[in-house]
Amino acid sequence: MSQPKYFIIDFDSTFTQTEALDILAEISLRNHENKDNTIAKIKKITEGGMDGSMSFRESLQRRLDLLEAHQDDLTELIERLKEVVSPSFKRNTGFIKKYRDEVFIVSNGFKEFIVPIVKDYGVKEENVYANEFEYNDAGRITGFNKDNVLSENNGKPRQIEKLKLDGEVFVLGDGYTDFEIKKEGFANKFYAFTENVKRDNVLRKADHEAPMLEEFLFMQKLERAHSYPKNRIKVLILEHIHQDAINRLTKEGYQVAFRPVGMTEEELIEAISDVSILGIRSKTQVTEKVIENAKRLLAVGAFCIGTNQINLEAALKKGVAVFNAPFSNTRSVVELAIAEIILLMRNLPDKIFDIHRGKWTKSASGSFEIRGKTLGIVGYGKIGSQLSTLAETAGLNVRYFDLEDKLALGNATACASLDSLLETSDIISLHVDGRPENEGMIGETEFAKMKKGVIFINLSRGHVVNVEALVQNIKSGKIHGAGVDVFPEEPLSNSHPFKSPLLGLRNTILTPHIGGSTLEAQENIADFVPGKIIDYINSGSTTNSVNFPNITLPALSRAHRFIHIHKNEPGILAEISNILAKYGINIIGQYLKTNEVIGYVITDIDKNYPEKVVKDLRKIEGTIKFRVLY
Ligand code: NAI
């Protein structure tokens, strides 16, 4: 028969995020003249007691002397401690309630504030071992019960010794005094809890690090809030991705490694083997070989719009979902388009150029308002349609042409053909996508159809326009002004030169592919992509995934979720159903979507099921990945 297990849990900076006496100091010294100084002193003494550099009794006595606390201060202290219970303890009340008899709180803190906190989480009052305050007649806290072993140096091991626990003992705590239990031979293992503080000297002594309670519960094979501890999910972030993204992924509990530059294929092959989430921008090539070596990879986040740098098919075959940020910079491009329309209508590029060279060219000739002019938008997608609404508010009449039927926003009018748009617009702005068929879609024939004096803007893709034809039409005066942000050949980096026949032309704005480059867009990307990835990891939702079948799943509650990714071959779905039926599993919900390559089946089931189901489902031929979520 297996031995019973006992779980010894520390309170300060483990069960709660902070040291209770530090908070008590803030309360009791609130109106004290030398408050900040005294609090700093107390914090220093607390640290001294925790890291083993000062004896515990000495640290406790010195702190209480400085505190000048009163019994009445404890009510507020308890209220404040309730607010700072460690998140992973809040999530895992099920474990404490289930092991009420085996969970002990052993702390060098004080019962007066520990009991009211831990009781709410199911800990038995008689399983709380901690110090006790002593008060004078006026209610002032003057000292502590010296008969309590926990007030002594080495108090925790002595306390566990007295408990005479007959079984295996596991200690979870953040301080040196917790390690002492194991050191003195009264615990089988010591787990350093690092959700709130990480002390190197404690970590060095620990059998294992537990960055959150789930890690401890996972190691102990106990019931927990998350099927897989998030601290075990390794994230690799490359290429100057905005700090907000790193913060968000770290806050989720993942282990995030960050490298500001990209990686070569060889470097990535080496680095990827134990990575679960990869974050890149446009430079890192995620090739088939990289994906082959990614043994644990669940998702790739492209912190940009394009995903050409990723072998999407290889990722799909390996069950790796890819997410990008398709509309995070839409607004930025639209604002640039509006700005260029105004600048070009006023002939401003030339005027700015002249005045910088000391030439005064005050004249209204060739300058127009945009109000009442007709803007023709080619490609009424995310950018085109957003430009449409903004342009209308500035007084432009909007016409658009798209290959697909698109809902006209506001008062915009759809054109039946590209020709009709070209013939009727005062301003033409291109916002088509970069599909190969669009190469050279605007050339001499199309320019010929435009009105004389047209303003022409391309912020979409360089190859869409025949540059030579554009140059000729600017030179001939057919085009009054042009704005170009994208080119058929663009320099690889800022240190490479830029060459184009468009250089030096009149009333022409050239910009280095910065339509979407704003700090707001970067922030949006940093928020959007991690959001999608976290959602995928936590619920299996693939909303907006570039390669996976898109399913938006309800949040999981009171169920376990089986996520089965398999090759899209006949018979697999039937096999999943057979296995679930064989074990009489109660299915709460099932979701299924396929594409040409994979099938994505999500089954929510009742929490109670035999472990064997999972094994059988994993074994189905054609299974690419299988996860259990709860
Ligand atoms: P989107 O995919 O939402 O919209 C493109 C629209 O163009 C679709 O509605 C599509 O049906 C339509 N379309 C494609 N070919 C067409 C054709 N030959 N004639 C008429 N309609 C056609 O794309 P989104 O996000 O609006 O982006 C538009 C363009 O802007 C893309 O080429 C993108 O690469 C580019 N872009 C440029 C940026 C910059 O920094 N300059 C930043 C972001 C996007």
Question: What's the pLDDT tens digit per position in 131-147?
Answer: 999 999 999 999 999 99
Residues above pLDDT 90, as percent of the chain: 89
Express each pLDDT in 396-421 by its tens digit.
999 999 999 999 999 999 999 999 99
Residue that has been written with the tokens 């936590």 in this structure: 538
Q: What is the pLDDT of residue 198?
A: 95
Q: Residue 540: left if φ>0, alpha if ψ -120 to 50, beta else—which one?
A: left
Q: Could you tell me the pTM of the whole model?
A: 0.80
Residue 330 C-alpha to ligand 1 middle, in angstroms? 10
Average pLDDT over residues 89-101: 93
Express each pLDDT in 430-467 by its tens digit.
999 989 999 999 999 999 999 999 999 999 999 999 99
Q: What is the pLDDT of residue 342?
A: 98
Mean pLDDT of the chain: 95
Mutate which of 405, 432, 464, 546 for ligand 1? The one with the most ligand atoms within 8 Å of its CB, which is 432
**Helix runs in 120-242, H state only:** 155-163, 176-183, 200-205, 213-219
Lowest mean pLDDT among 67-71, 304-308, 460-464, 603-607: 304-308
Q: What is the pLDDT of residue 50?
A: 64
Average pLDDT over residues 336-363: 97
pLDDT at 240 over 90: no
pLDDT at 11 over 70: yes
Residue 569 C-alpha to ligand 1 middle, in angstroms? 34
Express each pLDDT in 31-68 by its tens digit.
888 899 998 988 888 777 666 677 778 888 899 999 99
Range 466-474, long-range pairs (CB < 8 A, 24+ positions):
466/440, 466/442, 467/500, 467/501, 467/502, 468/501, 469/442, 469/443, 469/444, 470/442, 470/502, 471/501, 471/502, 471/505, 472/444, 472/447, 473/447, 474/502, 474/505, 474/506, 474/507, 474/508
Atom of ligand 1 nearest to the CA of 401: 20
Atom of ligand 1 nearest to the CA of 336: 41
CATH number of 553-629: 3.30.70.260
Q: Which residues form ligand 1's pocket by a CB distance below 6 Å?
A: 305, 329-330, 333, 378-384, 401-404, 431-435, 438, 441, 459-461, 485-486, 513, 515-516
Q: Which residue, by CA, sits nearest to atom 35 of ligand 1?
A: 460
Residue 431 C-alpha to ligand 1 middle, in angstroms? 4
pLDDT at 1 over 60: no
CATH number of 233-323: 3.40.50.720
pLDDT band, residue 307 (cuts 50/70/90)? very high
Q: How far is CA 154 from CA 7, 58, 167, 175, in A?
A: 19, 12, 22, 12
Q: What is the pLDDT of residue 556?
A: 83
Express each pLDDT in 357-396 by its tens digit.
999 999 999 999 999 999 999 999 999 999 999 999 999 9
> Which residue numbers are catalytic?
461, 490, 513
Q: Which residue, by CA, sits nearest to atom 25 of ligand 1?
A: 382
Q: What is the pLDDT of residue 306?
A: 84
Average pLDDT over residues 567-573: 93
Mutate which of 430, 442, 457, 460 for ligand 1? The one with the most ligand atoms within 8 Å of its CB, which is 460
> Is the CB of residue 447 less than 8 Å from the CB of residue 355?
no
Q: What is the pLDDT of residue 52?
A: 65
pLDDT band, residue 151 (cuts 50/70/90)? very high
pLDDT band, residue 321 (cuts 50/70/90)? very high
Mutate which of 431, 438, 441, 511 for ligand 1? The one with the most ligand atoms within 8 Å of its CB, which is 431
Q: What is the pLDDT of residue 49?
A: 66
Average pLDDT over residues 544-550: 96
> Tokens standing for 429?
């702005």
Residue 20 C-alpha to ligand 1 middle, in angstroms? 57
Q: Which of 1.10.4160.10, 3.20.190.10, 3.40.50.1000, 3.40.50.2300 would CATH assign to domain 5-219? A: 3.40.50.1000
Residue 203 C-alpha to ligand 1 middle, in angstroms? 53
**Helix runs in 20-84, H state only:** 20-28, 35-50, 56-67, 73-83
Average pLDDT over residues 210-218: 96
Look up the CATH superfamily of 330-517.
NAD(P)-binding Rossmann-like Domain (3.40.50.720)
Question: What is the SS3 assignment for 140?
Answer: strand
**For the chain, domain boundaries:** 5-219, 233-323, 330-517, 553-629
Nearest to 598 by CA among 320, 322, 310: 320
Atom of ligand 1 nearest to the CA of 380: 9
Average pLDDT over residues 607-615: 91
> Tokens standing for 153?
């140096």
pLDDT band, residue 283 (cuts 50/70/90)? confident
Q: What is the 3-state secondary structure (H, E, C) of 312-374?
A: HHHHHHCCCEEECCCCCCHHHHHHHHHHHHHHHHCCHHHHHHHHHCCCCCCCCCCCCCCCCCE
Residue 435 C-alpha to ligand 1 middle, in angstroms? 9
Are domains 330-517 and 553-629 of this chain identical in fold? Answer: no
Residue 384 C-alpha to ligand 1 middle, in angstroms? 7
Lowest mean pLDDT among 1-15, 50-64, 104-118: 50-64
The type of residue at 291 is I
Q: What is the pLDDT of residue 53?
A: 74
pLDDT at 488 over 90: yes
Mutate which of 305, 327, 330, 383 for ligand 1? The one with the most ligand atoms within 8 Å of its CB, which is 383
Q: Rounded CA gap, 426 and 421, in Å?
A: 10
Average pLDDT over residues 561-586: 94
Q: Count of alpha carbons within 13 Å of 189, Cβ hemisphere only?
A: 15
Average pLDDT over residues 484-498: 91
